[in-house]
Chains A and B, each alone.
Chain A
Amino acid sequence: MTELSHLPAWRLAELVAAREVSARELATLHLARIARADAALGAFLLVDEAGALGRADRIDAALARGEQPGPLAGVPLALKDIFVTRGIATTVASRILAGWIPPYDGTAVARLYAAGANLLGKLNMDEFAMGSSNENSSVKPCRNPWDLTRVPGGSSGGSAAAVAAGLCAGSLGTDTGGSIRQPAAFCGLVGMKPTYGRVSRYGVVAFASSLDQVGPMTRNVRDAALLLQAIAGHDPHDATSIDAPVPDYRAACERGARGLGGLKIGLPAEYFVDGGGINPEVERAVRAGIARLEDAGATVVPVSLPHTKYAVACYYLVATAEASSNLARYDGVRFGHRAEGTGSLLELYCKSRGEGFGPEVKRRIMLGTFALRSGHYDAYYRKAQQVRALIKRDFDEAFTQVDLIATPATPTAAFRLGEKAADPLAMYLADIFTISCNLAGLPGVSVPCGFTEAGLPIGLQLIAPPLCEEQLFTAAAAHELATDFHTRRPPELA
Chain B
Amino acid sequence: MTATKWEAVIGLECHVQLATETKAFSASASIYGAPPNSCTDPTVLGLPGALPVVNRRQIELALTLGLATGSTLRRRSRFSRKHYFYPDLPKGYQISQFDEPLCEHGTVEFVVDGVPRSVRLTRIHLEEDAGKNLHRAKRSLVDLNRAGVPLVEIVSEPELRSAEEAGEYMRTLRQLVRWLGISDGNMEEGSLRCDANVSLRPVGATTLGTKAELKNINSFKFVERAIEHEIARQTAILDAGGRVVQESRLWDADAGTSHAMRSKEEAHDYRYLPDPDLPPLVIDEEWIDRARAALPELPTARRQRLVAEYGLTVADARVLTEERALADWFEAAARAHGDGKRVSNWVQSELLRELNRDARTIDACPIRPEALAALLRLIDDGTISGKIAKEVFTKMYASGDAPGVIVEREGLVQVTDTSAIETAARAAIDANPKQAEQYRAGKTQMIGFFVGQVMKATGGKANPAAVNEVLARLLGA
A residues whose Cβ falls under 8 Å from a Cβ of B:
83-84, 90, 92, 97, 100, 102-104, 106, 201-206, 208-210, 236-240, 321-322, 324-325, 327-329, 331, 333-335, 345, 349, 369, 372-374, 377, 381
Q: Across the interface, which residues of A come within 8 angstroms of B91, CB to CB?
A: 328-329
Residues of A within 8 A of B42 (CB): 103-104
**Are B51 and A372 in contact, with the CB atoms below 8 A?**
no
Give the shortest distance, in Å, between A333 (CB) and chain B (any CB): 5
| Least CB distance, A112 to chain B, in whole angstroms | 15
Query: How many Å lie between the Cα of A293 and that of B261 in the bound state?
Result: 68
Judge if B179 is at the interface, Cβ distance under 8 Å: no
Complex CA gap A58/B416 in Å reads 89
List A contacts of B50 (CB < 8 A).
104, 202-203
B132 to chain A, nearest CB (A): 14
In Å, the complex CA distance between A102 and B81 comes to 24
A328 CB contact (under 8 Å) in B47, B49, B83, B279: B83
Sample of 27 A–B contacts (CB below 8 Å): A84-B47, A90-B48, A92-B48, A97-B48, A104-B50, A203-B50, A206-B49, A209-B276, A210-B276, A238-B51, A238-B277, A239-B51, A239-B52, A239-B54, A240-B276, A322-B276, A325-B92, A328-B91, A328-B92, A331-B92, A334-B45, A334-B46, A335-B47, A335-B48, A372-B272, A372-B273, A374-B270
Q: A102 contacts which chain B residues (CB < 8 A)?
A: 47-49
| A204 CA / B51 CA spacing, docked (Å) | 9
B269 at the A interface (CB under 8 A) = yes
Residues of A within 8 A of B83 (CB): 325, 328, 372
Are A369 and B49 in contact, CB atoms less than 8 angstroms apart? no
Chain B contacts with A in 56-108, Cβ cutoff 8 A:
81, 83, 85, 87, 90-93
Further pairs besides A102-B49, A239-B51, A372-B83: 11, Cβ < 8 Å: A84-B49, A201-B49, A206-B277, A239-B53, A239-B277, A240-B276, A322-B273, A325-B92, A327-B92, A331-B92, A345-B87
Q: Which 10 A-B pairs have the closest CB atoms?
A: A328-B92, A209-B276, A372-B271, A210-B276, A84-B49, A203-B49, A205-B48, A329-B46, A329-B91, A374-B269
Q: A237-B51, A328-B91 are in contact. Are A209 and B277 (CB under 8 A)?
A: yes
Chain A residue, CB-CB nearest to B53: A239
Check: B187 CB closer than 8 A to any chain A CB.
Answer: no
Which residues from A are CB-within-8-Å of B142?
Answer: 333-334
Q: What's the least CB distance linking A30 to chain B, in Å?
A: 26
Tell which of B46, B50, B270, B279 has the most Cβ of chain A within 10 Å. Answer: B50
* B278 proximity list for chain A (CB < 8 A): 239-240
A98 to B322, CA, bound (A): 56
Could you tell me the distance between the alpha carbons of A322 and B142 in the complex, rounded to whole angstroms? 26
Bound together, the chains give a CA A344 to CA B87 distance in angstroms of 12
A349, B271: Cα distance in complex, Å: 18
Interface residues on B, range: 20 to 34
Residues of A within 8 A of B92 (CB): 325, 327-329, 331
Chain A minimum-CB-distance residue to B268: A374
Taking a contact as CB atoms under 8 Å apart, the answer to whether A328 and B85 are in contact is yes
Contact of B49 with A205 in the complex, beta carbons under 8 Å:
yes
Of all chain A residues, the one with the shortest Cβ separation from B54 is A239
**Proximity bits, B404-421, A CB within 8 Å = 1, else 0:** 000000000000000000
> Which of these, A103, A240, A321, contacts B273 with CB under 8 Å?
A321
> With A and B bound together, what is the CA distance between A325 and B95 in angstroms?
11
- Quick one: which of B46, B92, B142 has the most chain A CB within 10 A? B92
Query: How far is it, in angstroms, between the C-alpha of A59 and the C-alpha of B42 when the chains are bound?
Result: 28
**A205 proximity list for chain B (CB < 8 A):** 48-49
Bound complex: CA of A485 vs CA of B273, how far in Å?
Answer: 45
Complex CA–CA separation, A205 to B47 (angstroms): 9
Q: Mark B217-230, 1 if CB is under 8 A from A, else 0.
A: 00000000000000
Interchain CB contact under 8 A, A206 and B48: yes
B451-469 vs A, CB cutoff 8 Å, 1 = contact: the mask equals: 0000000000000000000
CA distance A418 to B272 in the complex (A): 37
Q: Contact at B273–A381, with CB atoms within 8 Å?
A: yes
User: Contact: A202 with B51, CB < 8 Å?
Assistant: yes
Hey, what's the 0/1 contact readout for B163-183 against A, CB within 8 Å counting as 1?
000000000000000000000
- Check A329/B90 contact, CB under 8 A, given A239-B277, A239-B279, A373-B271: yes
Q: Kindly state the separation between the CA atoms of A98 and B269 in the bound complex, as whole angstroms.
A: 30
Which single member of B48, B269, B273, B279 contacts A100 (CB below 8 Å)?
B48
Chain A residues whose CB sits within 8 angstroms of the CB of B51 once the complex forms:
201-202, 237-239
Alpha-carbon distance between A331 and B277 when the two chains are bound, in angstroms: 20
> Does B85 lie within 8 Å of A349, measured CB to CB?
yes
Question: Interface readout for B258-276 with A: 1 if CB under 8 Å, 0 if not?
Answer: 0000000000011111001
Q: What's the nearest-Cβ distance from chain A to residue B278, in Å?
A: 5
Q: Which residues of B contact A372 (CB under 8 A)?
A: 83, 271-273
Complex CA distance for A103 and B269, rounded to whole angstroms = 33
Specify which of A238, A325, A333 is in contact with B271 (CB 8 Å cutoff).
Answer: A325
B49 and A240 contacting across the interface, CB-CB below 8 Å: no
Residue among B42, B48, B52, B93 facing the most chain A CB atoms (10 A cut-off): B48
Cβ-closest chain B residue relative to A369: B271
Q: Are A104 and B279 in contact (CB under 8 A)?
A: no
CA distance A84 to B52 in the complex (A): 16
The residue that B269 contacts in the complex, of A92, A104, A373, with Cβ under 8 A, is A373
Instruction: Assess the A328–B277 pair: CB atoms within 8 A.
Output: no
User: Do residues B47 and A104 form an inter-chain contact, with CB atoms below 8 A?
Assistant: yes
Interface centre among B85, B87, B90, B93 (most CB of A within 10 A): B85
Q: Are B53 and A238 interface neighbours, CB within 8 A?
A: yes
Which chain A residue lies CB-closest to B278? Answer: A239
- Cα A92 to Cα B49 with chains together (Å): 11
Q: Which residues of B contact A90 (CB under 8 A)?
A: 48-49
Chain B 135-158, CB-CB to A under 8 Å as 1, else 0, gives 000000010000000000000000
Residues in A whose Cβ lies below 8 Å from that of B87: 331, 333, 345
Q: A202-B51, A381-B273 are in contact. Are A334 and B279 (CB under 8 A)?
A: no
Docked CA distance A97–B49 (Å): 12
Contacting residues, chain B, for A208 (C-beta < 8 A): 276
How many Å from the CB of A126 to the closest CB on chain B?
A: 16
In the bound complex, what is the Cα–Cα distance between A211 and B243 (angstroms)?
Answer: 50
Give chain B residues whose Cβ lies under 8 Å from the Cβ of A327.
92
Shortest distance between the CB of A109 and any CB in chain B (Å): 10
A345 to B375 Cα, complex, angstroms: 66
Which residues does chain A contribute within 8 Å of B53, judged by CB atoms? 236-239
Q: In the bound complex, what is the Cα–Cα distance between A325 and B49 (angstroms)?
A: 13
Task: Provide the residues of chain A in CB contact with B48, threshold 8 Å.
Answer: 84, 90, 92, 97, 100, 102, 205-206, 329, 335
